[in-house]
Structure 1
């Protein structure tokens, strides 16, 4: 759901087409162009005459006398140029013309003679007889004045005039009427870069005076092709019923149909190095280039004349260059039109990008929870690469500009948000685990569970477990002896080291029941050696109790009732463990007959006078420990009898000869006892009694001595199997 929410936010933001998204899209397309610039045609059909810094140095400060440009135009025409298009607005009369000089110096004796000489502008216009010329004009902003422009070949429009998106201007800075009327065509030279100043598209049409007008490149191509009026196809002229008016679609001029953006612009696919022939203006004007060489360079071509000199202020940035003459941009557009090579962003591109973003984002949102962090990162990276590669293929194979940014942004947003959400969820789960278990498990177990929550299966599950019930003997008398606060202080002093022992032996501390402790092993983490850990914990608790009795007797801060004794019941078997309780309150605990028996065994420690009693299932798993069978008992609440065992020590005790002698004597006593051969049982018991004292279970000998004496007087039935019926818990 976090991934879907992130995807929804991305799509909502993208619907508004914010500037950062537009900038990212532009950067992606620029990158494609840098990697795969246009290779151009084998033979270019466009040339450029560049008024460069060297031309300014040789011919003087701009603007030059129009006679210089007349020479330039005439030579280009004589060399066979198809069309000459000036990326220059000749809006002012030539200040070096004879009549202008005569007007400035009317008292000069040369003034009458100057007035008889032809105007430079007239000489410039006369050069138009050699070649069709396209004169440029510049659109002005609001409040800057200007005048209306009349196109030489009016557009025909299929649909409604696309005023919604195509740039509209109030007026234009036009050439002198003499020049404009003599020119075979006129086209605007206005270039508008994007917000970052980069010119990625060339406008082929704009609206002024309620009419569409052609750009310089379009008008030059129209004249070179000998075409009539260009046809502008608007969005509502496509025949598609869902199309709304206001956007440009394409322009048809002669055999060429040029795809446009909604704003009437043409995407330019720039070449790494200009494919057009570029000639410095000074070489043509000064005669440095021969007529033959000039003819080879410009014959049959559209020749654009413009300037790269900094003083002309016609330098722009493109995806491939920080500074290039604007005339080269017009020339690149014309070259592409003539070659039929277009970059196009189809009207269905946005819908496809949105669909891909939704599919990729939703798919990743569904996959991430199943894949995990590492595979999820690989999946996200794979989707990003696939999006970029698909856009790249569309660019290189079909000339389509399909934006990879939106799908990539959707993928990144879904991955980032979902990863953060997963991290938060895991941290929350870890905090929950710590809160739930750090008071019941050893710190090491809590760290393991927090590091890998998969080891913890919440909810009820059956497990083979070891269970301990530990109780303080005579606690009621202790409670009677002390105040409630003193009882609490005593319990804290006793339970704290006992809990530490349990944690050290990998136990899960289920609960404190007054003075009793319920603990278990093999949940929530697997513990294959849980019987051994339970046995060692029980023995350590007995030793710790003795140590506490000795230590606490030497202090007065904590009340300590003399010799404290504990009884421990151990059992092993199947239990159901997990989060149990009500919907409002849960507790991680366990239930089952194994738990109940452990509690009964703890109660029998007082009867048999041994500190630790365990069931047969656990005793059989401790072959190396000092264990003896105590008796066969039917505990309260159970019908089936069970053998019970005393845990007296670990492997070292079992290896002692004294333990082996005691165990053998006690086993012989039990055998005779169950066979109802009372004299032999009594004799074996007498042999075991000294050993009982050695191991601190002298009361066990007294218990069986009383039983043998009683049963020898009142024998049980012949089928008696030696089972003792417990009457108390």
Structure 2
């Protein structure tokens, strides 16, 4: 047996099996102890599942009355007088609400009560008949307490972990089926409760505290928690109990019905009235969110102002659980959920009750961890044993099939059964086995590759060296046709600048200019082809694929212009590096097919590109001087940048091309495109061009005049001056009916 094992490992290309198995064991140990950062990957994957397939909205008997911005505008700033809250409570009760749950904690007296106003006035005005009249008016808090006592109200309270306060007395007990799971649920020590008068008259009460995962996202709603060892229900759970006029909530733990397997008791499920709710061991409900749905929410002002008729009120609230929360901009109890970064807290309570009523649950089965561990060990062991014999490519295919099967199984379990099965550790185990196995197998080959890198790194770009190492045939002459994005950048008035400097100063200036420009281009995944004096030729999507080539090129060009603005401010004030004042550049960008590869002679190769796309990019750079803008792009690239701030410039027939080209000015990123100021000037500019094309010189001139106060902000003054001069010429010598609006460029 020992001889067989020795022969097997010797045949396994340098004993790659043992290191691969060691990597698998490490991942298995990490899964056993639990690593929060890795577990978060699974949670993020579950978030992606929900975003892809959110819970379909079904009309459950649950509504939200939202204290939104319009309600604040109509009814006054928050907090409203308790008489308004009492009126809201009465109206909902009269409409037949089964439970009225406040995601608001009324923990302090109403300072707008007549008696409290009288006490404040007495300190400044002494006694007066007005004060006596105020004291005789009903107390606002007493009015609200009476309304709460007359309606099925469930009040909220906060639980905290700072200090230790009186233990909350729940409105209904939590009966145990099995041992108490108080040690498994979220534990708190303090509480902020409603005023006693409100608390005594309420039909129910529950905590509203929501604590997200380590990344702050709320994925689970706690249905029970403990304070000073006592189990307490959440607002959503007690609202459901109140709506059914049920007695206690039954908490089923792992020691009930023979389910206890050792260790402290944990929660299995909760029974409230006619509903049994599966939970996590900590008594939480995995939340399965729906997309926002307007039928769920009714603004508070519609209820309080009588905008809804009694029949409409009945239709909206009769027999329903109504949650009241604050969604106004200044009041929002904002939380992050898998579907939305900014969601109001009351939505969590609402959707939790919807799930409990509809029976639509996300479930992480108790056998999930065992299945994930089994997959990790079984598939990892198989891959570790066969990888040395398959080789890197076929091993990668096998690993990819295994990873794809795991991911498909996880996704299918979610779609079909709403099961949450985490593929993180099995996938990580396969990756670890593959990386370690192939790393050991090709250690010697990589040393040889490193030698080639050291020999050529000083002469070629790292990407080209990598390609030569991977495929020495790359040294052959020839190229391939690819869809690419090309950039030409040139310093304006460089001849005049160079006249003011000596040769050494010119070199130092170019180094100071080209270095940050190239840093930007390389950071945006560009390949820098060559420097032509002060000009830069760069391109995207070769030698490596870049699916974001167009956006990378646009952002790179914008960053180059912005960086030069900073350098003009900073470098002019320095004396170490020569800087000729306000340096400007022009950038031409174009996209299209190019032939790229090793060009040159048999004695000297250069990785470069050729084609009409390159020539046009060079002509577009030249047009920046004519139109007075920094970045000019072609029509082909414009189609790939729909979200960027772009203005049409002209239809131009450039030197060397017969077909006219629609050219555009790249003004900024998506943020600028959405700015009101840009959208205003964009509309004016397009209207001006439309009038110009229609030979309506008067209207075109009017649009130029209307845009005049705004053009300086975007550097469009020279462009509109250019069109004004054209219009003057055309007014004197009209172009005629056959005019196609194309400008023929006379210079490159």
After TM superposition, the score normalised by the length of structure 2 is: 0.56
Measured against aligned partners, the alpha-carbon deviations of 1:302-351 in whole angstroms (never above 9, x if no partner) come to 00000112322411110000111100110000000010111111222111
**Structure-2 separation of matches of 1:430 and 1:79:** 79
Q: 1:359 aligns with which of 354, 368, 378?
A: 378
**Structure-2 separation of matches of 1:133 and 1:257:** 22
Q: Trace 1:608-623 onto structure 2 (pairs within 5 A).
A: none
The alignment status of 1:147 with 2:166, answered yes or no, reads: yes
Instruction: Name structure 2 gaps, 5 residues minimum.
Output: 1-17, 451-468, 472-748
Match of 1:251 in 2: 270
Match of 1:280 in 2: 299
Match of 1:492 in 2: none
Q: 1:21 aligns with which of 31, 38, 41?
A: 38
Measured against aligned partners, the alpha-carbon deviations of 1:430-453 in whole angstroms (never above 9, x if no partner) come to 99xxxxxxxxxxxxxxxxxx999x
Deviation at 1:6, TM superposition (A): 0.9
**Structure-1 separation of matches of 2:295 and 2:227:** 31
**Structure-1 separation of matches of 2:363 and 2:182:** 21
Alignment check: 8 A CA contact 2:337 2:343 kept: yes
Instruction: Name structure 1 gaps, 5 residues minimum.
Output: 432-449, 453-729
Measured against aligned partners, the alpha-carbon deviations of 1:284-309 in whole angstroms (never above 9, x if no partner) come to 11222222222222221100000112
Deviation at 1:269, TM superposition (A): 0.1
Match of 2:312 in 1: 293
**Structure-2 separation of matches of 1:2 and 1:204:** 46
The alignment status of 1:135 with 2:135, answered yes or no, reads: no
Alignment check: 8 A CA contact 1:149 1:209 kept: no
Match of 2:48 in 1: 31
The alignment status of 1:73 with 2:66, answered yes or no, reads: no
Secondary structure of 1:212's aligned partner: strand
**Structure-2 separation of matches of 1:57 and 1:276:** 22
Measured against aligned partners, the alpha-carbon deviations of 1:376-434 in whole angstroms (never above 9, x if no partner) come to 11111111111111111111211211111111111111111111111115558999xxx
Measured against aligned partners, the alpha-carbon deviations of 1:614-647 in whole angstroms (never above 9, x if no partner) come to xxxxxxxxxxxxxxxxxxxxxxxxxxxxxxxxxx
Could you say what the CA RMSD is over the residues aligned between the two structures, in angstroms? 2.3
The alignment status of 1:393 with 2:409, answered yes or no, reads: no
Match of 1:182 in 2: 201
**Structure-1 separation of matches of 2:213 and 2:172:** 29
Q: 2:74 aligns with which of 53, 58, 68?
A: 58
CA 1:430–1:91 in 2, change beyond 3 Å: closer, same or farther?
Answer: closer
**Structure-1 separation of matches of 2:399 and 2:391:** 12
Q: 2:146 aligns with which of 126, 151, 168?
A: 126
Deviation at 1:157, TM superposition (A): 1.3
Measured against aligned partners, the alpha-carbon deviations of 1:138-192 in whole angstroms (never above 9, x if no partner) come to 012222x543111111111123222333111112100000000111000000011
The alignment status of 1:98 with 2:117, answered yes or no, reads: no
Alignment check: 8 A CA contact 2:253 2:266 kept: yes
**Structure-2 separation of matches of 1:139 and 1:256:** 26
Alignment check: 8 A CA contact 1:199 1:318 kept: yes
Match of 2:130 in 1: 110
Deviation at 1:84, TM superposition (A): 0.5
The alignment status of 1:312 with 2:331, answered yes or no, reads: yes
Alignment check: 8 A CA contact 2:254 2:266 kept: yes
Measured against aligned partners, the alpha-carbon deviations of 1:482-523 in whole angstroms (never above 9, x if no partner) come to xxxxxxxxxxxxxxxxxxxxxxxxxxxxxxxxxxxxxxxxxx
**Structure-1 separation of matches of 2:228 and 2:249:** 18
Match of 2:516 in 1: none
CA 1:167–1:422 in 2, change beyond 3 Å: closer, same or farther?
Answer: same
CA 1:97–1:8 in 2, change beyond 3 Å: closer, same or farther?
Answer: same
The alignment status of 1:413 with 2:429, answered yes or no, reads: no
Q: 1:377 aligns with which of 352, 374, 396?
A: 396
CA 1:421–1:268 in 2, change beyond 3 Å: closer, same or farther?
Answer: same
Deviation at 1:38, TM superposition (A): 0.2
Match of 1:224 in 2: 243
Match of 2:191 in 1: 172
**Structure-2 separation of matches of 1:124 and 1:396:** 46
**Structure-1 separation of matches of 2:341 and 2:442:** 44
Match of 2:24 in 1: 7
**Structure-2 separation of matches of 1:241 and 1:168:** 22
Alignment check: 8 A CA contact 1:236 1:244 kept: no
Match of 1:239 in 2: 258
Alignment check: 8 A CA contact 1:79 1:295 kept: yes
Secondary structure of 1:40's aligned partner: coil
Secondary structure of 1:110's aligned partner: helix
Alignment check: 8 A CA contact 1:153 1:230 kept: yes
**Structure-1 separation of matches of 2:470 and 2:54:** 52
Alignment check: 8 A CA contact 2:334 2:343 kept: yes
CA 1:339–1:275 in 2, change beyond 3 Å: closer, same or farther?
Answer: farther
Match of 2:281 in 1: 262
Alignment check: 8 A CA contact 1:315 1:325 kept: yes
**Structure-1 separation of matches of 2:408 and 2:151:** 47
Alignment check: 8 A CA contact 1:147 1:174 kept: no
The alignment status of 1:346 with 2:365, answered yes or no, reads: yes
CA 1:108–1:194 in 2, change beyond 3 Å: closer, same or farther?
Answer: farther
Match of 1:332 in 2: 351
Alignment check: 8 A CA contact 1:236 1:245 kept: no
**Structure-1 separation of matches of 2:426 and 2:22:** 15
Match of 2:733 in 1: none
Secondary structure of 2:400's aligned partner: helix
Q: 2:219 aligns with which of 182, 191, 200?
A: 200
**Structure-2 separation of matches of 1:274 and 1:362:** 48
**Structure-1 separation of matches of 2:144 and 2:324:** 14
**Structure-1 separation of matches of 2:405 and 2:294:** 33
**Structure-2 separation of matches of 1:165 and 1:274:** 35
Match of 2:580 in 1: none
CA 1:82–1:241 in 2, change beyond 3 Å: closer, same or farther?
Answer: closer
**Structure-2 separation of matches of 1:82 and 1:228:** 15
Alignment check: 8 A CA contact 2:254 2:260 kept: no
Secondary structure of 2:170's aligned partner: coil
Measured against aligned partners, the alpha-carbon deviations of 1:25-77 in whole angstroms (never above 9, x if no partner) come to 11011011111100032x22100001112212222221110111111111111
Deviation at 1:240, TM superposition (A): 3.1
Alignment check: 8 A CA contact 2:254 2:261 kept: no
**Structure-2 separation of matches of 1:238 and 1:343:** 23
CA 1:430–1:220 in 2, change beyond 3 Å: closer, same or farther?
Answer: closer
**Structure-2 separation of matches of 1:153 and 1:306:** 23
Secondary structure of 1:319's aligned partner: coil
Which of structures 1 and 2 has the bigger CA Rg? 1
Deviation at 1:129, TM superposition (A): 5.1
**Structure-2 separation of matches of 1:113 and 1:370:** 96
Secondary structure of 2:218's aligned partner: coil
Alignment check: 8 A CA contact 1:24 1:405 kept: yes
Alignment check: 8 A CA contact 2:148 2:202 kept: yes
Secondary structure of 1:304's aligned partner: strand
Quick check: 153-162 or 319-328, which moved more? 153-162
Quick check: 269-278 or 10-19, which moved more? 269-278
Secondary structure of 2:443's aligned partner: helix
